Structure 1
């Protein structure tokens, strides 16, 4: 599959770019691995926050390849999730944050009446459509090492010791009590948390 652009979705609150060093590290890694570009970008200098962005939580969506294609801004509205639908695809690949993701779109369309999906690949838990995931065992939160996308919030939470990485197979889900869905826009404290019984 040919992809021409990747994206970074950056949370901006109180006119501050959040976790920007993690976004920058992923962007530089992506540009080197996908296209061989060696120039390093400084996102803090590259992204100019417009006057229309106030202290609310905004989403900055930066599309890029060799150069920045566009930067879009919008107020972020959290999604309400009360149910998660398991979906299956043994070959799904989303190692880079492409701006187009038809495979994931097809899986998301299988969510029935659920607000999110949980993608199972070769029997192992990976990610949701919009989020990385973590599971609570009563003492600690664990995120699968078979993730699809190395999320920036995931990297931050691992570095801070908030979550730990482990193998989580589909049959392991029932041994946990809760699932949490998080991404760059949804900080850990406000991340949706559901009993694993809501994963169908």
Structure 2
């Protein structure tokens, strides 16, 4: 049976975007295992004293039920260069623990720190992140990411970003690109688009 994972942000003992994580987990359980009864991740989170302060990743592995919960200190990565990688066959609609296809793409990054995955000419995601492109102070995320993340969904819900199709030929029309995930918010990892190697 395949296993999936949710990585939840905990900052100073508080969980963030838990309802969005639960919604995604329950969508995956319904689509993959045909389960209609939801699981409530909050009942599986018991933050140890050692992780009550600072930024922490709570990693929940599940299939039909929750199988493992672990906690790790988290630091935002220092990313200076992105490599554009083409893959027309990549498929990652659910947040699987096993991600060998993505690992293979990431292994092609050379001396860059991260990759941007292009599918049929359209920008999708980075390896660990969703993408937000900035132009004239406005923010745009690719319309069809490989995996819609919770941070991306939160920003869409509040109208802070817009989802549009972004072709790889048009990347340089944008000023900057922001990398976001459940533990990395907008503006924490920002690169000029000329730091993307084609």
Normalising TM by the smaller chain, what interval?
A: over 0.9
Q: Which of 193, 197, 200 lines up with 2:194 in the alignment? A: 197
Q: Which of 162, 165, 169 lines up with 2:163 in the alignment? A: 165
- Structure 2, unaligned runs of 5 or more: none
Distance 1:44 1:111 in 2: 36
Secondary structure of the residue that 1:126 maps to in structure 2? strand
What are the Cα deviations for residues 50-100 of structure 1, in whole angstroms up to 9, with x where unaligned?
A: 222121100000000011111111000211100000001001001000001
Deviation (angstroms), 1:139: 2.8
Q: Which of 149, 173, 176 lines up with 1:151 in the alignment? A: 149
Q: Which of 20, 36, 40 lines up with 1:22 in the alignment? A: 20
Q: Give TM-score, length-normalised by structure 1.
A: 0.96
Secondary structure of the residue that 2:49 maps to in structure 1? coil
Size of the aligned set, in residue pairs, is: 197
Secondary structure of the residue that 2:7 maps to in structure 1? strand
User: What is the aligned-residue RMSD (CA, Å)?
Assistant: 1.0
Instruction: Give the 4+ runs in structure 1 shifted more than 3 A.
Output: none
Q: Report the CA distance shift for 1:189/1:196 in structure 2 as closer, same or farther (over 3 A).
A: closer
Secondary structure of the residue that 1:70 maps to in structure 2? strand
Distance 1:163 1:72 in 2: 31
Distance 1:49 1:36 in 2: 30
Distance 1:198 1:64 in 2: 37
Q: Which of 77, 80, 83 lines up with 2:78 in the alignment? A: 80
What are the Cα deviations for residues 138-159 of structure 1, in whole angstroms up to 9, with x where unaligned?
A: 1311001121001000000101
Secondary structure of the residue that 1:52 maps to in structure 2? helix
Distance 1:43 1:9 in 2: 11
What are the Cα deviations for residues 75-134 of structure 1, in whole angstroms up to 9, with x where unaligned?
A: 002111000000010010010000010000000000011110000000000000000001
Secondary structure of the residue that 2:191 maps to in structure 1? strand
Secondary structure of the residue that 2:24 maps to in structure 1? helix
Match of 2:6 in 1: 8
Q: Give TM-score, length-normalised by structure 2.
A: 0.97
Secondary structure of the residue that 1:58 maps to in structure 2? strand
